[in-house]
Amino acid sequence: MAKQKTDQKADLLQGTLDMLILKAVSLGPLHGYGIIQRIRQISGEMLEVEQGSLYPALYRIEQRGWVSSQWEKGETGRRVKLYTLTKVGRAQLEVEEASWDRLALAIAKVRQAT
C-alpha cells in the first residue's frame, strides 16, 4: 500500500487509504495520479500510495457512493477519469477523521503512560 523510499517515510495502516483518498478529493476533483501526488504533497512527502493500491480503493469507494467519476479531456489532451467527493463521501470523511482522532489520542495516552 505505501512504498517506503527512505527511513523517513511512514507506512500506511490498513484501512487508512480510503480516508486519505477522500481527503485528497475533498480539496477538489482529481484523476488517479493527481490523488497520488496530492497525498504525497499534503503528507509532507511522507506517504506514497502505489497505483496498485489506489485504483482498487477508488473502485471500492466509488461503489460505496463516496466518490463519483467522469471522463474528461486532461491537460495533455488525453481522456482522464476525474474523481469528485460526493455528499455521502464528505460525511464518511468526517466519520473517518473523527475515528482517527480518537485512535491517535488513545495511542498517545498509551505512549505517555508511566
Chain centroid, CA 21 distance in Å = 2
Q: To 10 degrees, the CA torsion angle through 36, 39, 45, 51?
A: -30
Q: Answer for the pair 48, 70: CB distance below 8 angstroms, yes or no.
A: no
Helices (H) and strands (E) in the chain, counts: 4, 2
- pLDDT tens readout for residues 8-49: 555 556 568 999 999 999 999 999 999 999 999 999 999 999
E strand or H helix that includes residue 114: none
- pLDDT tens readout for residues 60-112: 999 999 999 999 998 888 999 999 999 999 999 999 999 999 999 999 999 99
Averaged pLDDT score across all residues of the chain: 88
Q: Could you give the domains of the chain?
A: 16-112 (1.10.10.10)
Chain centroid, CA 56 distance in Å = 12
- pLDDT tens readout for residues 22-33: 999 999 999 999
